[in-house]
Structure 1
Amino acid sequence: MKRVLLEYLPSWLLLIIFGLIVLHAPLIVAVGSHWPSLALGIKAWKELLMIIALVLLAVAVTQRGQWRTLLKDNLIRLMLAFAVLHGGVALLKPVTWQSLVAGLSIDLRYLLYFCLVYVFLTLYPRYKQQFITIGIAGALVVLGFTCLQLVLPHDALKYLGYSSATIEPYITVDKNPDFVRFNSTLRGPNPLGAYALIVLVGVVAFGMKYGRTVRDQRMRWLHAFLAVGSIIALWVSYSRSAWIGAAVGILTVVGARYGKHLDAKKWSVLAVVTALLVVGSLLLKDSSFFRTVILHDSPTTGAAVDSNTAHAASLGDGLNRMLAQPLGSGVGSTGSASLMGGEPLIIENHYLFVAHEVGWLGLGLFISIMIVTLRRLWARRADWLALTLFGSGIGLSVVGLLLPVWVDDTVSIIWWGMAAVVLAKGETHGTTNKKATRTA
């Protein structure tokens, strides 16, 4: 009974969250549309499961006498400090209770999930492969449905309850019906692009690690599908920030793998390819695609206020607010949480988002958490999955300059959850490498 409560039950809870998070959006829309009274509870399903897992793991850590070891971990300390700061700011800068609860959930849930998976796998490292398997299965669901949307009617999701009152079944680029942006099973095109970024960087990292040595035909087909699916998802998201982040992430992992081995000839090839891309962009600058998708400045279908102007205005406003409010404006004072209060505010930059809510100290702690996490992943870069998370983490950090990327629960929980799998102490991540080697 003790093992069921302290090992099996936490594993089920954490794996359920990791598996179902890719279906979170259609789940809350379907339940909320058909049973409105359950809407609030279903939105918080993952947070409720995390709280139960937290209690059970606290008991397990206490029984094993592991608290001192865990609290010596600098990354855990930084995350605890970030959470405590949120509590202090909540007292000093009160907002409506609805905004506060939503703000705490949005700001802390992915860090809490990281800590839960990190601690659980430190205690029970044999479950690492299960998280990896479920992560891959989730990618198949998201990318598979993205491909299916290519042939389905654009508004097919309306039958699940998608609408302007919940989540739009699809949107277009610059109001141009020729460029339809799909959601797949995520909240919108930008989260889909960010998710596809993670998968695509993983495909490249795995390919560089094992390449043609993989003999298992199923592994080859899986790798090929994830490659094609992630490219399609990235494309149909029409998310410029995700495109930039993917390019940065791929260049990061390629540089980490081959940077020291590039001779003058290979550098010359890269220079020529870069030059061709620049020339190609210049030649296409007056095309409908370039003006609509890249510039969002179509003279025929553009909105009165284009997204570039809106991004710039949001960035300027967020920067001014950060400089004027070193202590922040309160947890839940921006983003979707602020919609529940009296002063809605959207800031399209994750760093300014954090600074607006918990001030300069909060921003410093958040950046420190990112740096420590990425440094630890870099230290394990010989493992393709660690390199994937390092490269995609750099890419997502770039996306964060243009969007509050970690606000999306699917993207944040998937990336931080997998980072915990890689970084958890105990057995190293060599189990996956051994499995891949056996298929070689």
Structure 2
Amino acid sequence: MKRVILRLAPPRYSAILDRTIAGLLVVIMALIVVHAPLSVFIGSKAPAVALGIKAWKEILMVIAALLIILRYGQRLARDFRRDPLVILCGLYIVLHIVLALPAANGGLAAIAGLMVDLRYIAYFILIYVVTRYNPWYRAWLWHTAAIGAAVVLGFLLVQFVLPVDFLKHLGYNEATIAPYMLVDMNPAFVRYNSTLRGPNPLGAYAIIVVSIATAWWLIRAKKLRDKRWLALPAFYAAIGTVAAWVSYSRSALVAAAGSVGLVAALRFGRRVSRRVWLAGIGIMLMCIAGLYLIRNTEFFHTVIIHDNPTTGARTTSNDDHVKSLSAGIARMTQQPLGAGVGTTGSAAMYGSMPHIIENQYVMVAHEVGWLGLALFVLIYTLVLCGLWKQRRQWYAVGLWASGVGLAFVGIVLPVWADDTVSIVWWGLAAAVCSKNYNGGTYDVSHKKAA
């Protein structure tokens, strides 16, 4: 005889809270892709609220966090007290708060530093918790992220026919965000922003888009009955590749190629014949030989190594990267406890000691010391492992591959300091990692048991 186990439906106010919390988190995912133009435009029209308008996403996160506590109460402690991801993220947040209290670079810089360093960690935890209890909200996030990518890529295409300085009409300038940049001061090579804060963030964002679109094409294609749907991932992959290219971010181009290679390797693996592997190696050798042959051309010096003697500045971006990295490592070794939150990056501009470090890991160590760097590396490793556990899902493969690529970009750029890139990747990663949870949900369903 079969018996039916019924889960009691939650009270009406609980369902409303669930939708409100999910709605707030989805709004952040939706608006983060246009955060830069909106904040610059509103700030240019109302300078008095320019600083506050930048914190809209953090304000929504705080509201969502309070509602989550109200909604789930003591169950949070019971369900997550042994979760290593939540524990490590909690320790990382506490460490930042403690080291921000001395306000080594001023109070405003410390607050800005907390926002830059912790917003994506906080967003990760919020989505991680919400999608554990309410798995159906994952689809909301993915659909929103897909629409957001279409906005970013679509505006990039529009920029090709607009004047290169079109964004100045929205308030872009050297004091806020440059409407465009040039490669090695050469007007023939324009670096576009699209709706992001600059060409480097656009390149990093493109890695996510290209990796997920490639995984969609290679892994999900065989399961599609209507092959016309393949046009969608083809669009994302193609325009995402264009975005990576016109960003002229060398690290983004290398990482995007590597991420696509990881997706392909995971998809085909041992099924690839020896001839294909040899052909791939041959193509790589041909590319290397091609770079050698064009080593004396203007294109090579401008785009590849950024040291064109005819158009470039005396100090190249290569010099800036080396100086920033060497200075950052020197400070990191001298300050094992860190210099304090808000002492580097964009947050440091609000204080009296502006210091830029163009390396994500050195930047973390500079602010919160060796312990903070160790916690960050552990968190990131666990997230990548969580994505790997879900590798049967094409979107998990794409996120995992892009995560590896972005880890590489972090060597030469503070990749997670950009709000759009960090919110999108960490938010989607949280939705995937929460699938590893096997506990109960608040699902209203009928389950049959023998």
Distance 1:235 1:374 in 2: 26
1:13-92 equivalences under 5 Å are 13-62=24-73, 65-91=75-101
Q: Tell me the CA shift for residue 427 of structure 1.
A: 8.5
Distance 2:295 2:283 in 1: 18
Q: Partner residue of 1:390?
A: 400
Q: Partner residue of 1:246?
A: 256
CA contact (8 A) 1:125 1:427 kept: no
Q: Partner residue of 1:437?
A: none
**Partner SS, residue 48 of structure 1:** helix
Q: Tell me the CA shift for residue 215 of structure 1.
A: 4.1
Match of 2:205 among 164, 179, 195: 195
Distance 1:92 1:73 in 2: 31
1:131-146 equivalences under 5 Å are 131-146=141-156
Match of 2:310 among 289, 300, 305: 300
Match of 1:235 among 245, 252, 256: 245
1:289-438 equivalences under 5 Å are 289-425=299-435
Q: Partner residue of 1:180?
A: 190
Moved over 6 A (4+): none
Q: Deviations over 1:345-400 (max 9, x none)?
A: 00000000000000000000000011111011111111111111110000000000
Q: Partner residue of 2:178?
A: 168
Q: Deviations over 1:218-241 (max 9, x none)?
A: 623322211221011111100111
Q: How many percent identity over aligned positions?
A: 48
Q: Tell me the CA shift for residue 280 of structure 1.
A: 1.0
Q: Partner residue of 2:4?
A: none
Q: Tell me the CA shift for residue 2 of structure 1.
A: 1.6
CA contact (8 A) 1:147 1:232 kept: no
Q: Deviations over 1:244-297 (max 9, x none)?
A: 111221122222222232332222111111111111111111111111011101
Distance 1:95 1:14 in 2: 31
Distance 2:142 2:118 in 1: 23
Would you say 1:216 and 2:226 are equivalent positions? Answer: yes
Q: Partner residue of 1:116?
A: 126
Residues 417-426 or 225-234, more deviating: 417-426
Distance 1:78 1:260 in 2: 36
Match of 1:127 among 117, 123, 137: 137
Amino acid of the structure 1 residue aligned with 2:207 = L
Q: TM-score, normalised by structure 2?
A: 0.92
Would you say 1:286 and 2:296 are equivalent positions? Answer: yes
Identify if the C-alpha distance between structure 1 residues 316 and 99 changes in structure 2 by more than 3 Å, giving closer, same or farther.
same
Residues 269-278 or 15-24, more deviating: 269-278
Amino acid of the structure 2 residue aligned with 1:53 = A
Which is higher, the Rg of structure 1 or of structure 2?
Answer: 2
CA contact (8 A) 1:174 1:298 kept: yes
Q: Partner residue of 2:108?
A: 98
Distance 1:221 1:208 in 2: 13
**Partner SS, residue 125 of structure 1:** coil
Distance 1:9 1:145 in 2: 30
Give structure 2 stretches of 5+ with no counterpart.
Answer: 1-11, 439-450
Amino acid of the structure 2 residue aligned with 1:128 = R
Residues 109-118 or 83-92, more deviating: 83-92
**Partner SS, residue 371 of structure 1:** helix
Q: Tell me the CA shift for residue 94 of structure 1.
A: 3.3
